[in-house]
Amino acid sequence: MVDSLMVPGQQSWDYDLIADIFNSRDAALILQVPLSVRQNEDWYWLADPKWQFTVRSCYNMLNFEANVPSSKVWKRLWGLEVPGKVKHFFWRALMNVLPTADNLRPRKVEVSPICPICNAVNESVLHCLVECLFAHSCWLLSSIGTFGSCSSLIDWFEQIFTRCCKEDCNLAVILCWRLWFNRNDKVWNDHCSQAQSLGYLDLREESALEGWLETLEVVLLQQSVRVSLILFTLARLKRWLSVKRLVG
Ligand SMILES: [Zn+2]
């Protein structure tokens, strides 16, 4: 027992005893181990501020070690006003489970490590959606622009939420969606869109139905009716139609 190496009744090592039993190297290592000043022995769960084990603290600790996005990131993603399929795509991107070359090659899938769009740099999800020269051009053509270097897609997503308005956050995820499908089009059909056609994202562009909704808004306003709820609903419907058009 370890406590047999301690001075009886005290919270300190028995230096003489340890020097007698162990060689000088082991004795030095043992004596470096700090001893608790508490009299009672207890178990403490260091991953919780109250030192008590909970499933939640264990889950958070494992997510932190695996570099999984925090719940704050997920809340932001689920709160975006984009179609569910776009959210699902971006969830996969943040979890780094998209079939990019750097994810496929360790699983023995024989693909080129090089980005199929720029043919210059190894492909990763961050490269494909943000750092690739082609993606860079698309971001510059959009209302969102580019930021400095990012350590990961999660880091980039956090920067988007820190610097952009809500509408641009929606557009950023939609542009990622379009970049990914353009990448797949290149891989499978050897076709790549123009940066202008991908980067130009304008939610204000109107379809025939949106134009009709616009006219209805004007008519209702002219009637001086208390229709704020209807107008609010119409505005949301128009925005949703615009987003749906961008993601196809
Ligand atoms: Zn590239």
**Helix/strand/coil for 155:** helix
Residue 172 CA, ligand 1 centroid: distance in Å: 18
**Whether 165 contacts 96, CB under 8 Å:** no
Residue 8: pLDDT band with limits 50, 70, 90 = confident
Closest CA to 177 of 187, 185, 189, 165: 185
Residue 150 CA to ligand 1 centre (angstroms): 16
pLDDT at 206: 47
Question: How far apart are the CA of 178 and the centre of ligand 1, in A?
Answer: 15
Query: Of the spans 42-56, 100-114, 227-241, which averages the highest pLDDT?
Result: 100-114
Q: Residues with Cβ < 8 Å from 57, sequence gap 6 or more?
A: 45, 47, 48
Ligand 1 centroid to Cα of residue 45, in Å, is 45
CA of 158 relative to ligand 1 center, distance in Å: 22
- pLDDT, tens digit, for every residue of 159-201? 998 888 888 899 899 999 999 999 999 999 999 888 887 777 6
CA of 39 to the centre of ligand 1 (A): 61
Is residue 85 predicted with pLDDT exceeding 60?
yes
CA of 120 to the centre of ligand 1 (A): 6
Q: What's the 176 CA to ligand 1 centre distance in angstroms?
A: 14
Ligand 1 center to residue 84 CA distance, Å?
A: 27
CA distances (Å), origin 101, targets 19, 151, 156, 157, 170: 57, 18, 20, 21, 27
| Residue 115 · residue 122 · CB < 8 Å | yes
**Measured between alpha carbons, how far is 200 from 194 in angstroms, rounded to an integer?**
10
**Of 74 and 105, which is predicted with more confidence?**
105
Average pLDDT over residues 239-246: 74
Residue 37 scores a pLDDT above 80: no
Mean pLDDT of the region 88-105: 94
Tell how far the Cα of 126 is from the centroid of ligand 1, in angstroms.
10
pLDDT digits (tens, 9 = 90+) for 116-138: 999 999 999 999 999 999 999 99
pTM metric for this prediction? 0.62
CA of 186 to the centre of ligand 1 (A): 12
* Predicted confidence band of residue 211 (pLDDT cuts 50, 70, 90): low
